[in-house]
Amino acid sequence: MSQTVQQIVERCQALFEDLNFTSVKEWKAAAPGRKAIGFMPVYVPREIIHAAGMLPVGIMGGGDQLEVIQGDAYYQSYICRIPRSTLELGLTGRLDCLDGMLFPSICDVIRNLSGMWQILFKDKYVRYFDVPQNYQDSVGGTYYIHEMQVLRDDIGKLAGKPISDDALRASIRVYNENRRAVHELYQYRAAKPWQAPTSEVYVVLRAGMVLPVEEHTKLVREYIAATDAVARPVRDNARIVLTGAFCEQPPLSLIKSIEMAGCYIVDDDFMLVMRMLTDDVLETGDPLDELSKSFLHRSMQTSSKYDEFKKDKGKYLLDSTKLNAGEGVIFAAPSFCDPALLERPMLQAVLNEHKIPYTAFKYAENTGQMAPIREQAGTFADSIKLWSAA
């Protein structure tokens, strides 16, 4: 019997709240020799980990339920929260189930955390994973393929056998399927946001950070089918695109507050790892070459990536707002997040040019006071409705 929306969401919620990563431990225990590799936002080619028979695990911080004690001792007050809570997870043994950890190129804080991890967790595989800021195949591509090859060799050694091209192609196929499913979910939400509230969509996506990808793809499609089967009331909400939350995640209560304040979120940049490559990676040919081409030429714009030309700045946000019939943009950025906060004025300038309304606030993953955010989002939604009525 198929599951109801409520059952699916409850399962995802439980996975989301489980800071002991029980599902990862269970996956590892199910067969001898299984290994899991953690990764932080924003993007790593998970295909390489999967091709070694390992489980890629997204570590998106500790959220609002984790009391950070040890992690705070490593950071000054003006540094964002995600490295503190991630360290807390590590230092309290919650990440012992991980055999390695990848730190993608996103900002100086996460970059430096890679070195801290090397010092504090000497028995684990740790790698800072750089992606190119030069998008020519012969320059940035060559560099990137080599970096992926190093990762492939390292992971192969951890797995005890090299990763074959065929295994990589098979993993690319599996992740292409997952990208399609996630894309379908985003399209579905944009078309019927009342049927797929972001507070639900978010936990369904978060499940993909800990579940095997094949299971997650199935889960996403089950959620779409289940929610589509039961009609929900349509509200006169403002359709907004949320941006800036690509690394440290907002608390779920913040997403709920925005929705309760009268906004439908029709696009966002949560957990970009699932959507970074915007279409299928070619399943034939040299797999690393194809992963590289996808990243260089068909990947999302986000603040940690260089925009080669001025005219490109804000293009994704603008296109998304138009494509998803967005009526406004909410800039929700973590406090002290350099990438999001430095990017924000440039994106706002683009929105100003196109007369798209926006509002902005900051959060931390453990923000508890939602009243100001609800008020701000509510006022924003009301103003959109007033303008569109005029």
Partner 1 sequence: MSTPVQMTPAQASKKPVPVAQKEDAMLLQKEMINRNYHEIATAHDRGKKVAATFVPGNLNELVMCFDFARSLPETNALQNGMRKKSGKMIMDAERDGHSEDVCTYVKADLGAMLGGEIGPTGEPMPHPDLLLLSYTGCFTFMKWFELIRQKYNCETTMLHVPYQGDGKISQNMRDYVVKQIKENVIPSLERVSGVKFDIDRLRQYMKESARAEGDLVQVLQSAKNRPSPIDGYFGAVYYIGPMFTAFRGTKEATEYYRVLRQEIEQRVREGKGPITPEGEMAEEKYRLVVEGPPNWTHFREFWKMFSDEGAVVVSSTYAKVGGVYDFGFRHDPDHPIESLAEYCLGCYTNLNLPQRIDMICKYIDEYQADGLLINSIKSCNSFSAGQLLILREVEKRTGKPAAFIESDLVDPRYFSPANIKNRLESYFQMIKQKRAAAGAVH
- Binds partner 1 by CB under 8 A, chosen from 30, 31, 32, 310: 310
Rg (CA), the chain: 20
SS3 129: strand
Nearest to 361 by CA among 337, 333, 327: 333
CB half-sphere exposure, 50, CA atoms < 13 A: 23
Q: Is 282 in the site for partner 1 (CB under 8 A)?
A: no
Report d(CA 216, CA 308) in Å as an integer: 34
Decide whether 119 or 386 has the Cβ nearer to partner 1: 119
- Asked if residues 330 and 243 have their Cβ atoms less than 8 Å apart, the reply is yes
Q: Is 112 in the site for partner 1 (CB under 8 A)?
A: yes
DSSP string, 302-369: -TTS--SSGGGTTHHHHHHHHHTT--EEEEEEETT-HHHHHHHHHHHHHHHHTT--EEEEEE-TT---
- Binds partner 1 by CB under 8 A, chosen from 34, 143, 177, 253: 143
- Asked if residues 340 and 36 have their Cβ atoms less than 8 Å apart, the reply is no
- Binds partner 1 by CB under 8 A, chosen from 18, 19, 65, 79: 79
The per-type count for the chain, helices as H runs and strands as E runs, is 14, 8
Hey, what's the torsion of the CAs at 22, 27, 33, 37, to 10 degrees? Answer: -70
Report d(CA 46, CA 172) in Å as an integer: 9
Decide whether 138 or 284 has the Cβ nearer to partner 1: 138
Decide whether 304 or 366 has the Cβ nearer to partner 1: 304
Report d(CA 284, CA 166) in Å as an integer: 9
Report d(CA 145, CA 142) in Å as an integer: 5
Binding mask 34-53 toward partner 1 (x if CB under 8 A, else -) reads --------------------
Q: Is 348 in the site for partner 1 (CB under 8 A)?
A: yes
Q: Is 69 in the site for partner 1 (CB under 8 A)?
A: no
Q: Nearest 5 degrees, angle CA 303-CA 238-CA 329?
A: 15
- Binds partner 1 by CB under 8 A, chosen from 292, 303, 320, 367: 303
Report d(CA 94, CA 86) in Å as an integer: 10
Decide whether 133 or 388 has the Cβ nearer to partner 1: 133
Q: Is 120 in the site for partner 1 (CB under 8 A)?
A: yes
CB burial of 280-294 (b: ≥16 within 10 Å; e: otherwise) equals bbbeeeebbbbbbbb
Q: Is 306 in the site for partner 1 (CB under 8 A)?
A: yes
Q: How far is the CB of 80 from partner 1 (least distance, A)?
A: 9
Q: Is 343 in the site for partner 1 (CB under 8 A)?
A: yes
Q: Is 359 in the site for partner 1 (CB under 8 A)?
A: no
- Binds partner 1 by CB under 8 A, chosen from 127, 189, 206, 216: 127
Decide whether 2 or 309 has the Cβ nearer to partner 1: 309
Q: Is 353 in the site for partner 1 (CB under 8 A)?
A: no
Q: Which span sits near partner 1 by CB under 8 A: 31-39, 106-114, 173-181, 234-242?
A: 106-114
User: How many residues at the interface with partner 1, by CB under 8 A?
Assistant: 60
Q: How far is the CB of 77 from partner 1 (least distance, A)?
A: 9
Q: Which of residues 84-103 bind partner 1 (CB under 8 A)?
A: 103
Contact footprint for partner 1 (CB under 8 A): 73-76, 78-79, 83, 103, 105-109, 111-116, 118-120, 127-130, 132-134, 136, 138-140, 142-143, 146-147, 150, 303-304, 306-308, 310, 313, 333, 335-339, 341-346, 348-349, 362
